[in-house]
Amino acid sequence: MKIQDIQAIQLLLATPKKIAIIPHRGPDGDAMGSTLALYHFLLKFNHEPIVIAPNDFPDFLAWLPGSETVKIFEKDKQNCTRILNDADLIFTLDFNALHRVGDEMEKVLASLTKTFIMIDHHQKPDDYAAYVYSDTSIGSTCEMIFNFITLLDKKEAINIEIGTCIYTGILTDSGSFKFPGTTGNTHRIVAELIDLGVPNTQIPNLLFDNSSYSRLQLLGRALQNMKILEVHKASYTTLTQEELDTFNYIKGDTEGIVNYGLSIKGIHLTAIFIENKEEKIIKISFRSQGGFDVNQFARDHFNGGGHRNAAGGKSDVSMQETIKKFESIVSQLNKIPHEN
Ligand SMILES: [Mn+2]
């Protein structure tokens, strides 16, 4: 982040402000961790922060300190619109294009003439924000929040609550420290958080060991549905709406299932296709290992995007047709996914 921008933000934060903090739609560990970390940080300096999520966050994040204060735009549009209209400052975290909050909330945000501050690690940021901290080499927005607070010269304000939120996003967005964005800096930050007293062995338990029986049954079905495209070093799996219903699907249940496709020896590209009858779409997540760019792949073929090794997309045609399209594109790839 530019030094002038830091100075300008320091000045903005020198007097108490009403501050809305917004994660992307379908908020994950990094989106909720970063927004709540910033929320707790701003509270300490007498601001009036409030996190407004476009839609609800999954249950496995409901233990995060401050999550009970989060407003859900979709559930309370009038009130949330009023809060946004009253805000002096708006932080958008873990996304960089306003459409990521969904149509209705995007309209509200686009109509505001407020100072926006973007902190995000996705590619190709839009230009709606007055101040932008964008860095695609950093593994999580939570790591950037740690850097941001440090740049503001307020590192001593990081307490266990803030640290717990930051740790959560670093852990979830790095696939438990496995993904390429995991650096020495990541581990140095984590070391500082542990020294501070952040419960680093409890957090993974809270996040990952809270499955319901039916969620594991659903995972079992997804694993059974998995197909291998051996010559292309790819795998994919599917979950139909009927299967989701059979296993009493609730939000968050399919989180992380896509990663199993990469745990097969020799597989460098994987995808999961999840049917959503209500929205009449197939939701897709892509993962890759090494040099194959799923961000570009998702942008080119499936109306999506994300990072080089983790991206999402969607399809408006049937599951069968979507799979057919995926298989056909993969079979035509002139560059077979490989390690670096
Ligand atoms: Mn993130």
Q: Give the pLDDT of residue 157.
A: 98
* Per-residue model confidence as pLDDT tens digits over 171-220: 999 999 998 899 999 999 999 999 999 999 999 999 999 889 999 999 99
- Output the CA 31–ligand 1 centroid distance in Å: 6
* DSSP 8-state class, residue 23: P
- For residue 11, is pLDDT > 60? yes
Location of each CATH 3.10.310.30 domain in the chain: 213-332
Location of each CATH 3.90.1640.10 domain in the chain: 3-207
- Output the CA 121–ligand 1 centroid distance in Å: 7
Average pLDDT over residues 241-266: 94
- Output the CA 232–ligand 1 centroid distance in Å: 28
- For residue 337, is pLDDT > 70? no
- Output the CA 321–ligand 1 centroid distance in Å: 30
Burial of 27 (0-12, 13-18, 19+ CB in 10 A): buried
- Output the CA 231–ligand 1 centroid distance in Å: 32
- Output the CA 137–ligand 1 centroid distance in Å: 11
Q: Give the pLDDT of residue 339.
A: 47
Q: Give the pLDDT of residue 336.
A: 58
pLDDT class for 24, splitting at 50, 70, 90?
very high
CATH for 213-332 is 3.10.310.30
Average pLDDT over residues 48-57: 97
How is the chain split among helix, strand and coil, in percent rounded to 5? 45, 20, 35
- Output the CA 320–ligand 1 centroid distance in Å: 31
Q: Give the pLDDT of residue 274.
A: 98
- Output the CA 173–ligand 1 centroid distance in Å: 6
The topology (CATH level 3) of 3-207 is inorganic pyrophosphatase (n-terminal core) (3.90.1640)
Per-chain mean pLDDT for the chain: 95
- For residue 104, is pLDDT > 90? yes
Contact 179, 149 (CB under 8 A): no
Q: Give the pLDDT of residue 338.
A: 53
* Per-residue model confidence as pLDDT tens digits over 256-298: 899 999 999 999 999 999 999 999 999 999 999 988 999 999 9
Backbone phi, psi, residue 86, to 5°: -85, -15
Among residues of the chain, what percentage have pLDDT more than 90?
Answer: 91
Residues 6+ apart with CB under 8 A from 95: 23, 24, 31, 101, 120, 122
- Output the CA 171–ligand 1 centroid distance in Å: 10
* Per-residue model confidence as pLDDT tens digits over 109-119: 999 999 999 99
- Report the amino acid identity of residue 302: F
- Output the CA 129–ligand 1 centroid distance in Å: 18
Q: What is the pTM (predicted TM-score) of this model?
A: 0.84
- Output the CA 248–ligand 1 centroid distance in Å: 28
